[in-house]
Amino acid sequence: MNKRITLKDIAVATGVHVSTVSRALDPKRETPLTDDVVLRIRETADRLGYRPNRIASSLRTQKTMTIGVMIPDITNMIFPPIVRGIESVLEPLGYASIIVNTDSQRGREQRLVEILQDRGVDGIIHTAVLLDDPTIVKAAEAGLPVVTLNRKIEGTRVPYIINDEAAGIEAAFSLLHDKGHRHIAHLAGPRNLSTGQLRLDAFRASAAIRGMNVENLTIVEAAQFDEVDGRRAAEEILIRDPGTTAILCANDRLALGAIDHFRTVGLRCPEDISVTGFNDMPFLNMIPPRLTTVRIQQFEAGAVAARHMASILSGHGEDVPIETILPVLLIERDSVAVPRQA
Amino acid sequence: MNKRITLKDIAVATGVHVSTVSRALDPKRETPLTDDVVLRIRETADRLGYRPNRIASSLRTQKTMTIGVMIPDITNMIFPPIVRGIESVLEPLGYASIIVNTDSQRGREQRLVEILQDRGVDGIIHTAVLLDDPTIVKAAEAGLPVVTLNRKIEGTRVPYIINDEAAGIEAAFSLLHDKGHRHIAHLAGPRNLSTGQLRLDAFRASAAIRGMNVENLTIVEAAQFDEVDGRRAAEEILIRDPGTTAILCANDRLALGAIDHFRTVGLRCPEDISVTGFNDMPFLNMIPPRLTTVRIQQFEAGAVAARHMASILSGHGEDVPIETILPVLLIERDSVAVPRQA
DNA sequence: TTGAAAGCGCTAACAG
DNA sequence: CTGTTAGCGCTTTCAA
């Protein structure tokens, strides 16, 4: 590996001092320099193929131009778009990101925050799932710039971006209700995950404003956001209330599992029972019955988080709103119909 | 943000020299030290909450314990498992990774390699798609440790990991042929992508060994690995050879598109025409007709690449094989049947 | 407008 | 076994 060109090399080549070279190459230069000198330095820098050593620079300036991105699991389809949204704004600004997967494990989360801090990240964008991860809060309180996605951290000035979960659930509930459904069950997500809790609360609220007895609602909680638990919970719902005509599911995978269960017991969706999902994951429209669901803006959420982070890092932290709520969109497809004996 | 503890802080606290502290905290210590001193240092280090400054260390040692991971697009479902495979081995070893998306653009690729080098990555794991990306080859030749996935770089000592594409295509071809298909068309991927070319070559080879006239094969190339192009190419195949009874597709999305096109023209799969895919992407088994496809080992491919990289970085580069071919698995589902008038 | 010098925090060669 | 010293490459104050 050919030795890398350093400022010193350019200095000797042009016959000026390294500090002069440093100044000449600084894009937003403070000190005035002779145009001629600057030109000569720039020219030789290119000629020698100079590339600044970010490590050295980081050590000196205490800025790494790197941000940590914490997500539960990149393998979960909803996160890659978020990541790309983040990079779409951060990369042009010269930032790189280190992505870590927390697997929603508390201990791991803590270790990862430490790893990121050891590497001197300038900030962390944290996509939350667990409702309470003390680690990231502590880091934020210690002064590390933090922006969270999906999770409101009470009592701090940590900016958060969330999708309008409540509006999404309300839209789905409203659709179901308008079609005539009165026995609407909720297949809830894990209660310890923010989205699980939020959507459950929203479901109850939607029922309440329609004068339904919140105590009597059929609500079954899945342990995981996956098809297996969707099947299991759907079965449970049918046992608890055989009169259920529609199930509002906390996400698409649960809905898929539920529909699959119905198939095994001879119920058809939407003829016998209506189902709605949440997320609008890729390829969902190819799986019959095409699921009616709520689309959330993943890419945009990432982009907004990144923009906020960039603002903070450039010293304009006051300008960023603590709360950003992104609108969601109800996607009507084929999994909802009027109830059988309506 | 409370000032970070440095070696110096520990040194003054324990009354020894910083270098002694550095040595005491070095896990694989070369120089012998008094147990007592080591203990005292370790103890105060913990007490003060010391965390080594990797930046400073990197500047000194010229190792960042960071590797660059280049992929076309994290949003493409086949890459997240690869990334997790990589991290599953690298993270426990103390490496972090910077993931960049090339979008399969040549210019971007070059810029990204530079960015990674500026950040002093110890090596790059490069998941290729473009058949010829000169940039990464140059980097490798310049001495940067490189391991590639999906792409054999001729004439270098760059280790590469590939899935046994040829065996996968042969397995699919064989299945079709055994069912009695004699008019097997190939819906090929873009020829400038390694997988597109490899699978096309394998298709021709499979036809050849069965004595079929390679010149007469119906082969239509898609411009993109997506459903839209799958539909378009499927239409073209039917025009070119209406007698086609089976289509071997270069990947699942093309197959999905093809089947969708057949539906619009009133052909059923598999009754009227058989189709096979490649990759076995997530949720494929929920999309009817459940596609018969070839499963590749994504996670494992990433893990192997990472292991090779780790070996190289720890000075055992001679031990890593230049070529690693991972076995694939034919997954038989419902999209293949015996031909209509067989 | 430029040079000199110090130092970010750590490691490693060399003494002792 | 431990201290001294130098320096990785860069930025930034202070002088000139």
User: Whole domain around residue B174: which residue ranges?
Assistant: 165-296
Flag whether B91 is in a domain: yes
User: Among candidates B181, B131, B175, B170, which has minimal Cα distance to B153?
Assistant: B131
Q: How many CB atoms lie within 10 A of CB B16?
A: 17
Domain identity same for B205 and B277: yes
Query: pLDDT band at residue A135, thresholds of 50, 70 and 90?
Result: confident
Flag whether B171 is in a domain: yes
A143/B contact by beta carbon, under 8 A: yes
- Phi, psi (rounded to 5 degrees) for A64: -100, -10
Comparing CB atoms, the residue among A81, A87, A101 nearest residue B87 is A101
Return the residue matching tokens 């300038």.
Answer: A122
Residues within 8 A of A (CB atoms), B 287-306 only:
287-288
pLDDT digits (tens, 9 = 90+) for A138-190: 889 888 999 999 887 777 889 999 999 999 999 999 999 999 999 999 999 99
Nearest-Cα residue of chain A relative to residue B140: A1
Domain identity same for B35 and B15: yes
- What is the largest distance, in Å, between two alpha-carbon atoms of chain B? 91
Comparing CB atoms, the residue among A59, A80, A97 nearest residue B56 is A59
Report the sign of the C-alpha dihedral through residues A220, A224, A225, A228, in that order.
Answer: negative
Q: In the prediction, which pLDDT does A113 show?
A: 93
Flag whether B339 is in a domain: no
Contacts of A56 in chain B (CB under 8 A): 59
Q: In the prediction, which pLDDT does B28 show?
A: 77
Q: Do B75 and A96 touch (CB under 8 A)?
A: no
Q: In the prediction, which pLDDT does A2 show?
A: 63
Q: In the prediction, which pLDDT does A128 show?
A: 77
First-last CA distance in chain A: 76
CATH of the domain at A26: 1.10.260
Confirm whether any atom of chain D, the nucleic acid strand, is less than 7 Å from CB of A12.
no
CATH of the domain at B216: 3.40.50.2300
B99, B71 in Cβ contact below 8 A? yes
Flag whether B277 is in a domain: yes
Domain identity same for A279 and A305: no
Produce one character per residue of B271-284: b if its CB has 16 or more CB atoms within 10 Å, e if not: eebbbbbbbbbbbb
The conformation of residue B130, written as its DSSP 8-state character, comes to B
A117, A62 in Cβ contact below 8 A? no
Å between A98 CA and nearest CA of chain B: 5
Nearest-Cα residue of chain B relative to residue A101: B84
> Mean pLDDT throughout A124-128?
92
Element (DSSP H or E) covering residue A275? strand A274-276
Flag whether A334 is in a domain: no
Domain identity same for B281 and B216: yes
Domain identity same for B233 and B252: yes
Rounded Cα–Cα distance for residues A125 and A133 (Å): 14
Domain identity same for B28 and B139: no
User: Among candidates B125, B132, B171, which has minimal Cα distance to B147?
Assistant: B125
Domain identity same for A147 and A264: no
> Mean pLDDT throughout A22-33?
83
Q: In the prediction, which pLDDT does A137 show?
A: 87
Domain count, chain A: 3
Is the pLDDT confidence value at A131 over 80? Answer: no
Q: In the prediction, which pLDDT does B137 show?
A: 87
A59/B contact by beta carbon, under 8 A: yes
- Closest residue to C5 (CA, C1′): A19
Whether the predicted model's global pTM rises above the 0.85 cut: yes
Q: In the prediction, which pLDDT does B68 show?
A: 97
Q: In the prediction, which pLDDT does A35 show?
A: 86
Nearest-Cα residue of chain B relative to residue A6: B118
Per-residue pLDDT of chain B (342 residues; tens, 9 = 90+): 567 899 999 999 999 999 999 999 987 777 778 888 888 999 999 999 999 999 999 999 999 999 999 999 999 999 999 999 999 999 999 999 999 999 988 889 999 999 999 999 999 999 976 767 788 888 898 889 999 998 877 778 899 999 999 999 999 999 999 999 999 999 999 998 888 999 999 999 999 999 999 999 999 999 999 999 999 999 999 999 999 999 999 999 999 999 999 999 999 999 999 999 999 999 999 999 999 999 999 999 999 999 999 999 999 999 999 999 999 999 999 999 999 864
What's the mean per-residue pLDDT of chain A?
Answer: 93
Comparing CB atoms, the residue among A59, A115, A287 nearest residue B283 is A287
> Mean pLDDT throughout A97-124?
93
Domain identity same for A25 and A100: no
Query: pLDDT band at residue A1, thresholds of 50, 70 and 90?
Result: low
Flag whether A1 is in a domain: no
How far does the CA of A255 sit from the C1' of D5, in Å? 68
Residues within 8 A of B (CB atoms), A 82-101 only:
83-84, 87, 91, 96-101
User: Among candidates B112, B148, B109, B106, which has minimal Cα distance to B127?
Assistant: B148
Residues within 8 A of A (CB atoms), B 209-268 only:
256, 260
Domain identity same for B240 and B197: yes
Q: Is A328 left (phi over 0), alpha (psi -120 to 50) or beta?
A: beta
Nucleotides in D strand less than 7 A from protein CB: 1-13
Q: In the prediction, which pLDDT does B22 show?
A: 92
Q: Do B80 and A80 touch (CB under 8 A)?
A: yes
Contacts of B283 in chain A (CB under 8 A): 283, 287
Domain identity same for B173 and B159: no
Rounded Cα–Cα distance for residues A56 and A94 (Å): 16
Nearest-Cα residue of chain B relative to residue A144: B1
Flag whether A340 is in a domain: no
Domain identity same for B215 and B308: no
Domain identity same for A305 and A292: no
Confirm whether any atom of chain D, the nucleic acid strand, is less than 7 Å from CB of A239.
no
pLDDT digits (tens, 9 = 90+) for A255-266: 999 999 999 999
Burial tier of B225 (Cβ tally within 10 Å: 0-12, 13-18, 19+): buried
Flag whether A304 is in a domain: yes
* Residue B288 preceded by cis peptide, ω within 30: no
B311, B319 in Cβ contact below 8 A? yes
